[in-house]
């Protein structure tokens, strides 16, 4: 159990009508009683908050939330203050004077996890929900917070436990004549588990992509209108448009929302053999971006021969206002007149939705989970190949440990600091 009583603003920084300050820890009740007469549990009440000298600091809506039925599982309180800087500073000073201390990033959620109020996957979902910028991200985080992903992993862990019990039986009673169906069923179950985890891993990173956002690279020869297209899609002037080829030397980025997914559009320098060293560096970066992008938007000019384009790129023929023919398989647009841009936007939104496909079972959302599942998967492969029940049991135990690390059920002390440091203060 944590001994400190911590506090932090739960609402955002800056002047606002109301600021919510949160307090949690074994001393929360005492600290609160030092400020005002605590209201009955879970009832909002208006109270004058006072410092040690009895001077009124603010009139606030106060909530007293005794543990264990609180967010952290500890005794907690919420103070809904007037949202001015001076009010917040004065109340914070009074809390420190009463023995509370400012919270570290993620400390409330860390305590919730340590007190068994949520598993690690749900804790991470809290951070994702706070960070969610788009509707699709919000839905994915909420689904994870509600336990869909944890249930999937725990379901696998339970099946592994059953398999392990069977192996233990084989080790303990080697001479008993276990019916051959038992071994066959165990073998089939092991194969089924491996298949389920492999399918989950082999999801084209759709959950991670939605969480982190996609990258679409705009590539093509100089002067075809890449910068103009970026500006048109972003609906503002991000890139310099110039009739002089080779103007875009660095990779310019802008974030847009397409189909509920945050997408970083990268305008790359014209891909040509450049004499100028600065432009050459731009071209090098463009190639690197295009290689790492989730989708390449290969831009050419209508009427011009399509250049060297990656096979899965989305091909766009710009400047259709000049009358050139649109090559087969390309989308004709004009950044200048806006013709075809709605269709291009719709196509990009469809690509974003496809890359982050939200139908079906909950997807993997974090590299941390992926690494643990890969370990589990390798252990299961080892178990399937093991000749002796003892070795098989050891591999199954390894797989179970790896699954347990995802939800936080086994040995995660070493990763907790890293996980919760990514949170904002007050969560
Ligand atoms: P980039 O080098 O590929 O980024 O091309 P820019 O966006 O800088 O555009 C190069 C030139 O083509 C500029 O003079 C633009 O005004 C012009 N341009 C861009 N899009 C269009 C278009 O759809 N139609 C016409 N007629 N000109 C365009």
Q: Ligand 1 test: best mutation among 218, 226, 250, 335, most atoms within 8 Å of CB?
A: 335
Å from CA of 226 to ligand 1 middle: 7
Any atom of ligand 1 within 6 Å of the Cβ of 336: yes
Q: Which of 149-158, 175-184, 202-211 has the lowest mean pLDDT?
A: 175-184
Q: Which of 17-31, 67-81, 100-114, 230-244 has the lowest mean pLDDT?
A: 230-244
Q: Ligand 1 test: best mutation among 218, 226, 228, most atoms within 8 Å of CB?
A: 228
Any atom of ligand 1 within 6 Å of the Cβ of 322: yes
Å from CA of 348 to ligand 1 middle: 20
For 28, what's the count of Cα atoms within 13 Å in the CB-facing half-sphere?
A: 28
Å from CA of 310 to ligand 1 middle: 22
Strand ranges of the sheet holding 331-332, from the earlier edge strand across to the other edge: 252-258, 261-267, 214-219, 295-301, 314-318, 331-332
Region 330-349: mean pLDDT is: 94
Q: What is the pLDDT of residue 177?
A: 65
Region 368-391: mean pLDDT is: 92
Query: C-alpha angle with apex 377: 390 to 157, nearest 5 degrees?
Result: 75
Under a CB-based contact definition with an 8 Å cutoff, are residues 237 and 231 in contact?
yes
Under the banding of pLDDT at 50, 70 and 90, the label for residue 358 is confident
Q: What is the pLDDT of residue 72?
A: 96
Under the banding of pLDDT at 50, 70 and 90, the label for residue 249 is very low
Q: Which domains does the chain have, with CATH numbers?
A: 6-114 (3.30.1360.120), 148-203+367-423 (1.20.120.430), 210-355 (3.40.50.300)
Q: What is the pLDDT of residue 402?
A: 92
Å from CA of 225 to ligand 1 middle: 4
Any atom of ligand 1 within 6 Å of the Cβ of 321: yes
pLDDT higher than threshold 80 for residue 279: no
Any atom of ligand 1 within 6 Å of the Cβ of 318: yes
Q: How far apart are CA 186 and CA 184, in angstroms?
A: 5
Tokens 């939200």 belong to: 358
Residue 236 tokens, joined: 């503002």
The predicted-structure confidence for 193-219, as pLDDT tens digits, reads as follows 999 999 999 988 889 889 888 999 998
Region 137-142: mean pLDDT is: 90
Q: How far apart are CA 188 and CA 182, in angstroms?
A: 10
Task: Read off the pTM.
Answer: 0.74
Q: What is the pLDDT of residue 413?
A: 66
Q: How far apart are CA 62 and CA 36, in angstroms?
A: 9
Q: How far apart are CA 179 and CA 222, in angstroms?
A: 72
Percent of the chain with pLDDT over 70: 88
Any atom of ligand 1 within 6 Å of the Cβ of 227: yes
Helix intervals (H) in 225-329: 226-234, 277-292
Å from CA of 224 to ligand 1 middle: 6
pLDDT higher than threshold 80 for residue 419: no
Q: How far is CA 391 from CA 138, 385, 395, in A?
A: 43, 9, 6
The residue ranking higher by pLDDT, 239 or 334, is 334
Å from CA of 343 to ligand 1 middle: 19
Residue closest to 352 by CA, chosen among 175, 117, 137, 122: 137
DSSP, collapsed to helix, strand or coil, labels residue 45 as strand
pLDDT higher than threshold 50 for residue 180: yes
Q: Whole-number mean pLDDT of the chain? A: 86
pLDDT higher than threshold 70 for residue 239: no
The residue ranking higher by pLDDT, 3 or 285, is 3
Any atom of ligand 1 within 6 Å of the Cβ of 240: no
Any atom of ligand 1 within 6 Å of the Cβ of 225: yes
Q: What is the pLDDT of residue 297?
A: 94
Any atom of ligand 1 within 6 Å of the Cβ of 319: yes
Under the banding of pLDDT at 50, 70 and 90, the label for residue 178 is low
Q: What is the DSSP letter of 38?
A: P
Region 383-410: mean pLDDT is: 88
Q: What is the pLDDT of residue 243?
A: 57
Q: How far is CA 366 from the centre of its chain?
A: 7
Atom of ligand 1 nearest to the CA of 222: 2
Q: What is the pLDDT of residue 28?
A: 97
Any atom of ligand 1 within 6 Å of the Cβ of 241: yes
Under the banding of pLDDT at 50, 70 and 90, the label for residue 169 is confident
Atom of ligand 1 nearest to the CA of 322: 26
pLDDT higher than threshold 60 for residue 2: no
Under the banding of pLDDT at 50, 70 and 90, the label for residue 53 is very high
């Amino acid at each position: 159990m944590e001994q400190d009583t911590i506090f932090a603003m739960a609402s955002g920084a800056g002047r606002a009508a109301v600021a919510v300050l949160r307090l949690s820890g074994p001393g929360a009740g005492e600290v609160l009683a030092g400020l005002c007469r605590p209201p009955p549990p879970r009832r909002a009440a208006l109270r004058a908050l006072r410092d040690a000298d009895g001077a009124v600091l603010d009139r606030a809506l106060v909530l007293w939330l005794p543990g264990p039925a609180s967010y952290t599982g500890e005794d907690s309180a919420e103070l809904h203050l007037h949202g001015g800087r001076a009010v917040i500073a004065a109340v914070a000073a009074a809390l420190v004077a009463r023995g509370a201390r400012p919270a570290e990033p993620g400390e409330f959620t860390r305590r919730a996890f340590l007190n068994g109020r949520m598993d690690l996957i749900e804790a991470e979902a809290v951070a994702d929900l706070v960070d969610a910028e788009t509707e699709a991200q919000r839905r994915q985080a909420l689904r994870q917070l509600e336990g869909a992903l944890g249930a999937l992993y725990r379901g696998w862990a339970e099946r592994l436990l059953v398999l392990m019990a069977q192996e233990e039986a084989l080790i303990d009673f080697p001479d008993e004549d276990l019916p051959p169906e038992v071994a066959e069923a165990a073998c089939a179950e092991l194969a089924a588990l491996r298949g389920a985890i492999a399918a989950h891993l082999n999801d084209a990173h759709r959950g991670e992509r939605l969480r982190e956002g996609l990258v679409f690279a705009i590539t093509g020869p100089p002067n075809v209108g890449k910068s103009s297209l970026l500006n048109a899609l972003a609906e503002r002037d991000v890139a310099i448009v110039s009739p002089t080829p080779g103007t875009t030397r660095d990779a310019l980025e802008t974030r847009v929302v397409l189909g509920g997914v945050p997408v970083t559009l990268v305008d790359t320098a014209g891909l040509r053999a450049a004499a100028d060293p600065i432009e050459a560096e731009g071209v090098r970066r463009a190639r690197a971006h295009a290689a790492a992008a989730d989708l390449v938007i290969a831009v050419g000019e209508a009427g011009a021969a399509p250049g060297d384009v990656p096979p899965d790129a989305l091909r766009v023929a710009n400047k259709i206002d000049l009358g050139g023919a649109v090559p087969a398989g390309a989308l004709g647009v004009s950044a200048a007149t806006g013709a075809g841009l709605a269709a291009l936007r719709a196509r990009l939104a469809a690509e974003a939705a496809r890359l982050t496909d939200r139908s079906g079972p909950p997807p993997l959302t974090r590299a941390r989970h992926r690494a643990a599942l890969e370990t589990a998967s390798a252990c299961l492969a080892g178990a399937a190949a093991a000749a002796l029940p003892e070795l098989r049991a050891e591999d199954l135990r390894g797989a179970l440990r790896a699954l347990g690390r995802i939800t936080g059920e086994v040995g995660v002390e070493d990763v907790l600091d890293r996980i919760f440091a990514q949170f904002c203060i007050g969560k």
